[in-house]
A = this chain, B = another copy of it.
């Protein structure tokens, strides 16, 4: 079994960039062999017309989609924030400031878990109000999505604009 194939399997299955030490630990190959395998792989992948490359970032290595093919790649990969949490985030942005209890009516009891994780991510802020919580988006929310807005009112207006843009050609 060729060492570069072993390293290939490791790089492919690793979700994040990995160091030579890590690669060596898992493969049982010594560091020197790992390095030479990495060189071979980089040559093989990067020199060809393939859509995948072996790239080095500081001390870490990763297998990734080449820049030219990025546009085709990202849509199928899993999102950092799960889709249903993202949905809740978008509703908060649209209806903000909105009471958690009001949101409950819209999405049911998963609201608690979602708001919790959005708060942990720093995307949503909660403030006790009327036996519930008032929810608003944060500055980090704006930054994360690169929304052209400087306040939550603008975020709301922006989403509203997107919504009408989408629905208008279809109505009537």
Contact = CB atoms under 8 A, between A and B. Distances in A.
A26 B51 CA distance: 15
Interface stretch (A71-79, A101-109, A113-121, A150-158): A71-79
Interface string A50-75: 11100000000001011011101111
Nearest to A79: B15
Copy tally for this chain in the complex stands at 2
A6 interface: yes
B5 A65 contact: no
Given A8-B51, A9-B52, A51-B8, A26 B69 contact: no
A72 B28 CA distance: 9
A172 interface: no
B6 A75 contact: no
A49 B40 CA distance: 14
A22 B76 contact: yes
Contacts of A8: 50-52, 69
Contacts of A66: 9
B77 A14 contact: yes
B15 A74 contact: yes
Which of A5, A14, A18: most chain B Cβ within 10 A?
A5
In the A-B complex, list the 3 residue pairs whose CB atoms are closest, starting with the nearest: A9-B69, A13-B73, A15-B78
Interface of A: 1-2, 5-6, 8-10, 12-15, 18, 22, 26-27, 49-52, 63, 65-66, 68-70, 72-78
8 contacts: A5-B50, A6-B51, A6-B69, A9-B66, A9-B70, A10-B75, A22-B76, A26-B74
